[in-house]
Amino acid sequence: MRIAEAALRSGLSVDTIRYYEKSGTVPEIRRGPDRQRRFSQENIDWLTLLYWLRETGMPMKTMHRFASLYQVGDSTICERKQVLMAHAEHLKKRRADLDRCEQLLAHKLAIYKDIEG
């Protein structure tokens, strides 16, 4: 599939896909005889993963490290798992912080509701 469809399926923009490819964050994307990118399902799966990692706040430096480990092969599975586990812990803390914020806002809104009568 071509880059426009890859963008649609992965949730990334065409420009972001090109950026990820140039930075080495995406495994090699083969090209057709016309030199246009031809995305495989593996490429789409990888781009979708990158989309969600970024959406959850993973820094680009960490994403690039994860991609570099992936490209080395199965010998880095333990390290890749550690990267994802650290990110999962970050998300747990972030979720707890957001829950506390939501509680504070609910409390403040209840005060305002009482004042307004």
Q: Residue 70 pLDDT > 90, yes or no?
A: yes
Token reading at 26: 């995406």
Q: Residue 28 has what pLDDT?
A: 87
Kindly report the number of other CB atoms within 10 A of residue 50's CB atom.
23
The rounded mean pLDDT for the chain is 94
27 or 93, greater pLDDT:
93
Q: How many CB atoms lie within 10 A of CB 53?
A: 20
The mean pLDDT of 98-106, rounded to a whole number, is 97
d(CA 5, CA 87): 29
Question: 95 is written with which tokens?
Answer: 């979720």
Q: Report the topology of domain 3-116.
A: Multidrug-efflux Transporter Regulator; Chain: A; Domain 2 (1.10.1660)
Q: How many helices (H) and strands (E) does the chain have?
A: 5, 0
Strands (E), 37-99: none
Q: Please write the tens of the pLDDT for every residue from 12-58.
A: 999 999 999 999 899 889 999 999 999 999 999 999 999 999 999 99
Residue extents of the structural domains in the chain: 3-116
pLDDT score for 78: 97
Gap between the Cα atoms of 31 and 3, Å rounded? 11
Q: What integer pLDDT is reported at residue 117 of this predicted model?
A: 76
* DSSP code, position 112: H
DSSP lists the bridge partners of residue 31 as 37
